[in-house]
Each structure stands twice: as structure tokens, then as C-alpha cells.
Structure 1
Amino acid sequence: MRIDVITLFPELFERFLAVGMVGRAFSTGAAQARLRNPRDFGLGRHRSVDDTPYGGGSGMVIRVDCVVNCMEALDAEAVTPGETPVRAHRLLLTPQGQPFTQQKALDLASRPAIALLCGRYEGFDERVRSFVDEEISLGDFVLSGGEVAAMAVIDACVRLLPGVLGNAGSIEHESHSPALGGLLEYPHYTRPVEFRGLRVPEVLQQGNHAAIARWRGQQAEMRTTERRPDLWEKVKKERS
């Protein structure tokens, strides 16, 4: 899987791409990352990529030509010599986008290449939207730039790639996974059996796997109804 990141601050990703499960994905070759600054395609002596908005208003707007030239240059380059270039599935990170979900992470992780477009300032010239495939949001809030959102998307996707997690079963029964029917994950416990009056449930200590499975299913439903009633309503509709 190839992941291209278009950002004015590529240095923010250098450490992120080198540690933990994300670092393993890129060090083992399960994924390849390319960071590209739109300023490489900026204008004038200062490599300007933004300008004042038409119609007036505060802030600066990122130019469409600089961004599109950057994305197209990445698509024209092969990751390795002799390889046929692949056009990335382009994602604009914006609070106006569709909510990012586990299902979307599964979809993106199955693609050969994605490009994450990180904004800054007052955002992009509206015409940028004509050159992307999807718009994605982490939630109903605004960040100072798209870099943190891009990191979240990268983390969610690369952990799904084969061989990245030490135990492939780790992603099967987790919150929002198909195996759990989209529910929140059930509670987990480990030693000690008791800590300050809080005990590990007896059913988990008895080794009855059928009973444990029933308990975990009940706990997943209970946790979802209590913490995410909106999600529980969605699950009920899908079950009916």
C-alpha cells in the first residue's frame, strides 16, 4: 500500500512514521509513504502556495494549481524504478467531509494507493474538490491543519495490513469490527484478580469458553447501549 501525504509541514510526520505499529508497517514494506510539500510547486521566489480570497475576508486560501500539480506529480512517479505509476485515491481532510469510520479504514487499506491532502490557513480553493475522490472528517470540530487527521487515517489503515500486527486476531474482535457486528468492544481484564475491591468477573476465570463468549456478547451490547445509543440504534436497524 502506498500512502502519499501532501502537506506544508512534512517534518511533522517523520517521527510518527518511524515508531510503533505505524513504524513497523513502513519498515517491513507493508506500506510505503511519500511526503510532498506543495511549496515544491509554489510560485515566485518565495514558493507561495496561497493568496487572498476573492470577495474579501480574513486569512489566506491555498491555491488550486499548486495542490493539483503536486498530486499529479506524485501519481506520475513510480515508487520503485521500472514500476508502473498508480493514481492514488485522493482524500481531502476537512471538517466538511464524511465521518471517518472503521469501515472506511478497511476500504482504504484494501487500495493500492491513497493520497491524503492536508489543509492549512482558511482552507483550499473550492476547485480543489473537483480533483479529489472523497472528503473525510474526524468529527465535528476544526483543527489548525489536516496533519493530525492524516496521521489518524494512516494509523487506522496500516494496522489492518497483513503482517503489521503481531496477532492478526487482534483486529477481529474490536470496537466497530464486523465480527462484533459494529458494537463497542467488551471489557478486558488481566492480573491481579482483585485490585482495591475490584474483581475480575468470575465467568472469565472459569475457562468455560461458551459462557465467556456469551458474556462478552452481552457486555458489548450493554456497553454500546450505555455509551453510544446512536450506534446501538444503527446496529438494531441493521439486524432487523
Structure 2
Amino acid sequence: MRIDTLSTFPHMYDSVMGESIMKRAQACGALDFHAHDLRDWTHDRHRTTDDAPYGGGQGLVMKCEPIFEAYDDIASQGDAPYTIFLTPTGQPFDQGVATELADKSRLLFICGHYEGIDERAYTLADRCISLGDYVLTSGELASMVVIDAVVRLLPGVLGDEGSAVDESFYDGLLEYPQYTRPAEYRGMAVPDVLLSGNHARIDEWRRRQSIERTAHLRPDLLECANMTQAERAFLLSLGIDLSEGA
């Protein structure tokens, strides 16, 4: 997959893309990453990317001209990118959206800053995404979260292909508790089942822990979670009846 970003602070990506999973993804050829500086498509000596809003008001608005010119140049470099804007008005980001984006061959993230972006630039968008109901300094930060969630789903990136499947939200549930050595620490012991070597029992325990944890911490996820009738009966034993929300 190729991922391009267009922003006024492209060096914000240096540390994130040069470490850990993102670095490994590029080293193994799963990811081809390019961060572009929007100022490269400005034409004044101050390299201006923003201006005061029409109608008055606080802050500055990112100009549409450099965004359109940059898009034309970047999009001409290979396959047309699936273009994403990070904005509070966008679709809430979740694992389902990450999975959809992981199937694309090329993504382009256009990152806002200041008070916002000239509305005309959004005509370039294939999708607008919001991380949540809060405000960040810039779209670069939001795009890093989306990129990380997407890239870890690419084949070969995590090494163990089962890793992504076992993680939280893959099937609509939170992940089960994890433990490692030592088996006991400060009076807290690892559950006996995990030391039993009985993989069938371990799988059953993990699944039930996942369901129970979701029920307690994120009950809003249960309605759309992938569960069997037996697992829904287990929820009833916990005092949770999904049919009451229907």
C-alpha cells in the first residue's frame, strides 16, 4: 500500500513512521509512505497556506488553491488515491473503517490546521473521518492514528497473522486479559486455566472474558458483536439481556 499525507507540518510524521510497526511495514515493503509539504504548492514569498475567513470570525482558514494544486500533482503519481480528510464533521473512526481502508491500494490524507479548511477543498474527499468529539491541534495527529490502525492490518506487517484477529474490536468485542511471567506477583496470580496447557479450555476462558469485559466496560458494543446463542445465554447469566434494547 502507498500512503501519502499532505500537511503544513510534514516532519511531524518522522518519529512515528521511523519506529516500531510503521518502520517494519516500510522495511518489508508492505508500506510506501510519503509526507508532502503543502507549502510546496504556494506561490508567494511567505509560502502562505491560510487566510482570514470571509464573513469575519476568529482564527485562520486553510486556502483551497494550494490543496487543489497539490492534489493534482500527488494524484498524478501512480494510481488515483482514495482521499481522506480528518474533520470533526466526518464519520466516526472504528475498526470497521480501518479494515475497509486496509483494502485500498493507495490512501491520501489531507490534514487541516488552524480554524479549518476552505469548504471547497472537501470536494476532493472520498471520505471524511473523525476520531471523536474533541478538538486536536492538527489533522496530522489524527491521521497518524488512522494510518497506524490501517497499516497493522496489512498482510505481513505484524508477523503473526493471528495477532490482528485477536485484538480488541475485531469481532466487536474488547480483548481478553493478558498475562506473562512471573506466574505470581505481589499476591496476584495468573489464572490457573492459562497455566493448564489445555488450549480448548484456554480459548473458552478467553472468549468468555472478552464478552464479560465488554459487558462491564463497553456494553454499547454488545448489540452488534458477533456472538453465538450460547454466548448470548452466557450474557443472560451475567444479568444482561440484549433483547431489552430492541
Establish whether TM, by shorter chain, passes 0.5: yes
Opposite residue 199 of structure 2, the aligned amino acid is: H
2:136 aligned with 1:143: yes
Identical positions, percent: 46
Q: Is the 8 A contact 1:43 1:49 kept in 2?
A: no
- State the Cα deviation string for residues 62-94 of structure 1 (Å, max 9, x = none): 1112112111210112xxxxxxx2110000011
**2:201 alignment partner in structure 1:** 211
Count of equivalent residues:
230
2:87 aligned with 1:60: no
Opposite residue 90 of structure 1, the aligned amino acid is: T
**2:218 alignment partner in structure 1:** 228
- What does residue range 124-203 of structure 1 map to in structure 2 within 5 Å? 124-177=117-170, 181-203=171-193
Instruction: After the TM superposition, list the runs of 4 or more consecutive aligned residues in structure 1 that deviate by more than 6 angstroms.
Output: 236-240
Q: Distance in 2 between matches of 1:58 and 1:217?
A: 51
In structure 2, stretches of 5+ residues that fail to align are 230-242
Q: Do the aligned partners of residues 236 and 102 (structure 1) sit closer, same or farther apart at CA in structure 2, a change above 3 Å counting? A: closer
Q: In structure 2, the residue corresponding to 1:172 is in which secondary structure?
A: helix
Q: Distance in 2 between matches of 1:31 and 1:202?
A: 41
**Which of 95, 107, 118 is residue 100 of structure 2 equivalent to?**
107
Q: CA RMSD in A?
A: 1.7
What TM-score, normalized by structure 1, do the two folds share?
Answer: 0.91
Residue 238 of structure 1, CA deviation: 10
Q: Is the 8 A contact 2:172 2:226 kept in 1?
A: no
Q: Distance in 2 between matches of 1:100 and 1:33?
A: 21
Name the stretch that deviates more: 129-138 or 229-238. Answer: 229-238
In structure 1, stretches of 5+ residues that fail to align are 78-84
Q: Distance in 1 between matches of 2:65 and 2:227?
A: 45
Q: Distance in 2 between matches of 1:194 and 1:91?
A: 47
What TM-score, normalized by structure 2, do the two folds share?
Answer: 0.89
Opposite residue 181 of structure 2, the aligned amino acid is: R
